[in-house]
Amino acid sequence: MRHLLSISELERADIERIVEQAARFAEVSDREIKKVPALRGRMVLNLFYEASTRTRSSFELAAKRLSADVVNFASGGSSVEKGESLKDTVLTLGAHKPDAIVIRTPWVGAAALVAGWTGAAIVNAGDGKHEHPTQALLDVYTLRQKLGALDGASIWIVGDVAHSRVARSNILAFSRMGANVTVAGPPTLIPREIGALGCEVRFSLDEIAQADVVYALRMQHERMSEAWVPSLREYAAAFQINRRRVSARQLVMHPGPVNRGVELSGEVVDSPRTLITAQVQAGVVVRMAVLYELLSGARTFSPVPEPQLA
Ligand code: NCD
């Protein structure tokens, strides 16, 4: 694997290899000294053009646990505020010769674009509402820890599917791993073409009792230019995951950050049965596995040349 840009380019065997490597790294995280020398002398650049708590901190920790050097770049406070473009920023920081660039931007396709500008391995940490592949991998890892395998499991992804890169990556990853995926939400938040990714579509939670796993999505206000639901109160009345709607048998997940009292009730967020903390912990070991997969071998490629204008 040269880059990790989307789940769509991974086979089931690739996903299994990464989550199995993550399980081996989990053992390192339980040691008193949590570091291995696997990527000593390598450099990882974290390039974040969007807010992040979990993803950025876990990529940083993952790189450090593998003994790589890390440079963290956030667009706020950088020369982006003086108008420097994404390309010029990448070329500038590329002068430090990073072996991997972890990039999050609000722009669909930006990670793939950056792959053409540098020789570094690119990890897409979220490109607008397109994909967030490491989130999907850590969610597969978390579910395998709980269920053993995803084959035949019924997974319901509930809420703002339209604006969610997590939904897109997770539908693909869960299906590749043999789960039956259903998306549910109000029609305005379910894109018409979503079924093409291989999931069922529901516009109510009437049949949610059939789900083994309920995966709630955050309402993505920052990507909404108009009102997509009449009000958050009405959304919550119909689609909030709360004790009335899920039973003790069902696993509840959420990628974070949570709008408490909107997509999840506070009671469910705080319940020890909810997997949110396990997902965050999985984030470190799965990102270690991704960086290890991309950087542990020799890298001999050069950047993909940009198309020339005629
Ligand atoms: C997600 C993201 O940024 O796409 N968060 C995350 O990485 N854990 C989901 C979200 O912001 O709702």
pLDDT tens digits for range 165-215? 999 999 999 999 999 999 999 999 999 999 999 999 999 999 999 999 999
Average pLDDT over residues 282-294: 98
Q: Whose CA is nearest to atom 7 of ligand 1?
A: 55
Q: What is the CATH number of domain 133-278?
A: 3.40.50.1370
How many A from CA of 107 to the centre of ligand 1?
Answer: 14
* SS3 assignment for the chain: CCCECCHHHCCHHHHHHHHHHHHHHHHHHCCCCCCCCCCCCCEEEEEECCCCCHHHHHHHHHHHHCCCEEEEEECCCCHHHHCCCHHHHHHHHHCCCCCEEEEEECCCCHHHHHHCCCCCEEEEEEECCCCCHHHHHHHHHHHHHHHCCCCCCEEEEECCCCCCHHHHHHHHHHHHCCCEEEEECCHHHCCHHHHHHCCEEECCCCCHHHCCEEEECCCCHHHCCCCCCCCHHHHHHHHCECCCCCCCCCEEECCCCCCECCCECHHHHHCCCCCHHHHHHHHHHHHHHHHHHHHCCCCCCCCCCCCCCC
Average per-residue pLDDT for the chain: 93
Does ligand 1 lie within 6 Å of residue 218's CB atom? yes
How much is the pTM?
0.94
Q: What is the CATH number of domain 7-131+282-296?
A: 3.40.50.1370
Q: In this predicted structure, which of 40-49, 146-155, 220-229, 246-255 has the lowest mean pLDDT?
A: 220-229
Q: Is residue 306's pLDDT more than 80?
A: no
Atom of ligand 1 nearest to the CA of 51: 3
CATH 3.40.50.1370 in the chain, residues? Answer: 7-131+282-296, 133-278
How many A from CA of 160 to the centre of ligand 1?
Answer: 12
Q: What would the pLDDT profile of 20-67 be if each residue is shown by its tens digit?
A: 999 999 988 888 998 999 999 999 999 999 989 999 999 999 999 999
Does ligand 1 lie within 6 Å of residue 106's CB atom? no
How many A from CA of 159 to the centre of ligand 1?
Answer: 13
Q: Is residue 83's pLDDT more than 70?
A: yes
Q: Is residue 141's pLDDT more than 70?
A: yes
Question: How much is the pLDDT for 86?
Answer: 94
Question: How much is the pLDDT for 302?
Answer: 47
Does ligand 1 lie within 6 Å of residue 168's CB atom? no
Question: How much is the pLDDT for 273?
Answer: 87
Does ligand 1 lie within 6 Å of residue 54's CB atom? yes
